[in-house]
């Protein structure tokens, strides 16, 4: 958990996938905006762990992703 120091209740979170994921995506991530964090989980394991990011961490992740700063898994 990065930058979030309080307990976050995810039981009533509204999870969503990217509109680019498609209806049968089996290796997607889902996000939920839960004050004070953004939660990220594996869509295949909805009862598994979730990564929590503070809003600044989420913003930085989106910026770096849009700028192509991450190595695609196909290149590893």
Query: Domain limits of the chain?
Result: 29-68
For the question of whether the overall pTM of this predicted structure is more than 0.85, the answer is no
Across-strand partners of 42? 29
Per-residue pLDDT reduced to its tens digit, 6-50:
678 899 999 998 777 767 776 788 999 998 899 999 888 989 999
Distances (CA, A) of 65 to 12, 34, 56: 28, 21, 14
Which letter does DSSP use for residue 65 in this model?
H
What is the three-state SS of 50-63? Answer: CEEECHHHHHHHHH
């Amino acid at each position: 958990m990065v930058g979030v120091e309080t307990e976050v209740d995810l039981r009533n979170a509204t999870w969503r996938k990217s509109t680019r994921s498609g209806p049968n995506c089996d290796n997607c991530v889902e996000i939920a905006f839960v004050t004070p964090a953004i939660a990220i989980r594996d869509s295949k394991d909805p009862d598994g762990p979730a990564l929590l990011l503070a809003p600044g961490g989420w913003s930085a992740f989106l910026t770096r992703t849009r700028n192509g700063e991450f190595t695609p898994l196909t290149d590893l």
